[in-house]
């Protein structure tokens, strides 16, 4: 948290791309959003270190893996983790320390920008005890008739907070459109029961 807004980012917009143009950067994450960020940032930076725990094939789409492999200024550091950051809040990040998990070897890399594209925690704690969640706190939905409904009738979940979601904006938008029809079904059933 010390370097949030001072070198550590959780997204890669054109603004961040301009700020780190021609510099050495690191990006942590092995999912598709991380891969898309690598493809976006790499043409703009001097060198990009992609920090991942396991081989990309386990977590990333093949088309992104292929595009990253074709980028000459990207080093994929499999089995590596960030164990330290250097700098000061007022002046920003100055370096990151990588540790190879297999042998504990550490490498210090001077950089002013670190991008984190790692799994997010769901912001659903306020629903604890109200609807079923998985072991990570994501809201469980399902059912043949109303697949976006939670364990509580009439309560629905869509987007990244939903267990099993693809964690993509387009998918969340699609779920938003689909849930409207499911809500209409519930409301129609309620009206029918009251009338009958």
Element (H, E) at 98: strand 92-100
pLDDT per residue rounded down to tens, the chain (196 residues): 688 888 898 888 888 889 999 999 999 999 888 999 999 999 999 999 999 999 999 889 999 999 999 999 999 999 999 999 999 988 899 999 999 999 999 999 999 999 998 876 778 889 889 999 998 888 999 977 899 999 999 999 998 889 888 766 677 888 999 999 999 999 999 999 999 7
Q: Which part of the chain has CATH 3.50.50.60?
A: 8-116, 125-195
What CATH number is given for 125-195 in this structure? 3.50.50.60
Q: What pTM value is reported for the model?
A: 0.66
Cα distances from 44 to residues 52, 60, 74, 96, 180, in angstroms, run 21, 22, 12, 20, 41
- For residue 6, which of 102, 112, 163 has the smallest C-alpha distance? 112
| Per-residue pLDDT tens over the stretch 107-137 | 999 999 999 988 767 788 898 899 999 988 8
CATH architecture observed for domain 8-116: 3-Layer(bba) Sandwich (3.50)
How many Cβ atoms sit within 10 Å of the Cβ of residue 58?
9
Inter-residue contact 48 to 22 (CB < 8 Å): no
Task: Tell me which H or E stretch contains 84.
Answer: strand 80-88
Q: Nearest-CA neighbor of 159 among 177, 133, 146?
A: 177
């Amino acid at each position: 948290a010390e370097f949030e807004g001072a070198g550590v980012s959780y997204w890669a917009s054109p603004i961040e791309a301009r700020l780190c143009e021609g510099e050495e950067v690191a990006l942590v994450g092995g999912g598709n959003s991380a891969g898309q960020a690598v493809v976006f940032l790499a043409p703009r930076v001097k060198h990009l270190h992609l920090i991942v725990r396991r081989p990309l094939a386990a977590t990333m789409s093949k088309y992104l893996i292929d595009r990253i492999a074709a980028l000459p200024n990207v080093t994929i550091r499999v089995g590596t983790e960030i164990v330290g950051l250097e700098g000061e809040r007022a002046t920003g990040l100055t370096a990151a320390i990588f540790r190879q998990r297999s042998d504990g070897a550490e490498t210090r890399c001077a950089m002013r920008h670190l991008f984190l594209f790692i799994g997010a925690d769901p912001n659903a704690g306020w629903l604890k005890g109200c609807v079923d969640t998985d072991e990570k706190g994501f809201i469980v939905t399902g059912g043949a008739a109303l697949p976006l409904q939670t364990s509580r009738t009439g309560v629905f979940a869509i987007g990244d907070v939903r267990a099993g979601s693809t964690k993509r904006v387009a998918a969340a938008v699609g779920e938003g459109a689909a849930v409207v029809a499911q809500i209409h079904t519930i409301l129609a059933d309620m009206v029918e029961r009251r009338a009958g």
